[in-house]
Structures are given as C-alpha cells and as structure tokens.
C-alpha cells in the first residue's frame, strides 16, 4: 500500500500510527498538544519511537464528545498539518468525517483521510477522497446498535463502505479498513470483534486496529484511562496475529516494541 510518498509492505510488516490530538477534550490526552510547539515536540517524539504515520485529529470522537463547527476544526488541524509537513518527512493522516475539513486538510498536505463513519456521514466524502487521490482509512460505525447477527452485520456494513468507495472511484489500493472498536458496540461486542478480527481479511485490504486506552480495556481490567497500556499492547499483539497491519495508538514506544517482537516470532522461518 502506498500512502503519500511511502510504500507500506503489509504482507508481513506492521506499522504504528501515532495519535496527535489537537483537541482540548479528547478522552486520553485532551489539551496536551493543541499548541503548535507541543504538537511538533510530540510528533518528533513519536517518530523517534517508531511511528510510521501521524494521525492528526481536531475533534474528539470519544462518547458524548462536544461537536464543533467545520471552521473551528479546520483552524485546529490545518496549521498543525502544515507545520508537521514542513518539519518532518512523515505520512500524515487526518482524522475527520467532514468533507470541508478533509478538503482543507488535503490542501494542507494530509496523505490519508481517517473517516470514522466509513464514508456514511457525508455523501460527498467519497468523491473528495477519490478526486484528490489520497488514501483512506474507513471505519465501521453505525447510528443504531440494532444488530441481528453481530459479526456478519459488521461485515455487511463494511461491504457497503467498500461499494461506496468503488462507486466513487477510490482505488482499492488506497484503502484500509478499521473494525471500529469502541464505536456502536458494547463491551461484549467489542471483545467479539477482537476475537473475530481475522474475518477482516475477506476484504483483501490492509486493516487498521484502534484500541488504544479504550473503554473495552478499561471495563475488562477495571482500570482508568491512564493505566491501560498493557491491555492496549495485548490487543496490538492479537491484532497482528489476526492479520491487522496498522495500529493507531497513544503510546508509540511500547506498542512498537510489542509489535516488532510479535512480527519477529510470527515471521521466523
């Protein structure tokens, strides 16, 4: 898979996507990196620790988050995208489901649009991605948790997303999918999704796993958000073994090390 100018060999190698939230209210690191210098410092740190992609987000997507206007989100992310692009040779992902924000981010230099609604929030998003020829991470989500056959319903939802991408002209080699841990799923469903991650191979595109510090880990281990690293690392290891190749995390160093160890064992001949 090529994202921006970089080629990602997803047959055997996994990659870390480091989270850079330029928001005041994200559930884990809200307010830490919404000043430009702090954002650049954190980017440099994550790249040194092994991040291959920096995922910049301007609106929190945690449960009950405060929605902001397109203009405010653009004002938060565009200067950071431009500064990261100017200072570092790295791939930039923009975490947004809003077309105007995606357009502005792509103009600023984003290489990938990370859409938590899998093209289904805004019916113009698919065309913007197709026309700009950037890559896309398309996540499973739905407005109502009215499943009848959970795993098969998730697969059907993702097939709809893939069909929308194809119809809009997004090249298949520009797409990765995300099973959407923590979105429109309760605790048991999140764990079921983790258990059946290998089903994602049906789509024949790379898979991104985003579990970092999420409530699935907190509820399972009865731990607050700042004590969920081991749980996150366990999901990274399981994710790689199930076929996931991109891992969106807060703690780059710990997950990078866990991933490299898992890779070395799995690929030993």
Could you tell me the strand order of the sheet in which 208-209 lies?
175-178, 135-139, 112-115, 91-95, 51-57, 15-21, 246-249, 208-209
| Rg, the chain, Cα only | 17
Point out the residues that are catalytic: 214, 248
* Two structure tokens written together for 232: 């996150």
């Amino acid at each position: 898979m090529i994202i921006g100018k970089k080629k990602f060999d997803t047959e055997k190698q996994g990659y870390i996507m480091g989270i850079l939230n330029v928001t005041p209210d994200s559930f884990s690191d809200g307010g830490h990196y919404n000043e430009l210098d702090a954002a650049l410092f954190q980017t440099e740190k994550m790249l040194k620790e092994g991040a291959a992609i920096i995922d910049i987000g301007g609106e929190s997507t945690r449960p009950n988050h405060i929605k902001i206007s397109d203009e405010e989100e653009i004002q938060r992310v565009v200067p950071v995208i431009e500064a990261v692009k100017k200072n570092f040779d790295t791939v930039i992902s923009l975490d947004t489901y809003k077309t105007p924000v995606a357009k502005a981010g792509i103009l600023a230099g984003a290489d990938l649009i990370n859409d938590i609604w899998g093209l289904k929030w805004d019916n113009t998003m698919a065309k913007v991605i197709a026309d700009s020829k950037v890559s896309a991470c398309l996540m499973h989500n739905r407005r109502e948790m009215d499943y009848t056959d959970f795993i098969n319903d998730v697969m059907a939802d993702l097939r709809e997303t893939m069909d929308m991408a194809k119809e809009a002209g997004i090249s298949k080699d520009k797409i990765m999918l995300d099973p959407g841990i923590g979105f429109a799923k309760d605790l048991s469903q999140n764990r079921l999704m983790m258990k059946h991650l290998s089903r994602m191979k049906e789509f024949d595109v790379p898979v991104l796993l985003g579990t970092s510090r999420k409530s699935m880990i907190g509820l399972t281990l009865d731990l607050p958000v700042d004590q969920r690293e081991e749980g996150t690392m366990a999901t990274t290891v399981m994710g790689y073994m199930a076929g996931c190749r991109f891992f969106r995390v807060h703690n780059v160093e710990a997950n990078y090390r866990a991933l490299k160890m898992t890779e070395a064992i799995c690929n030993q001949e």
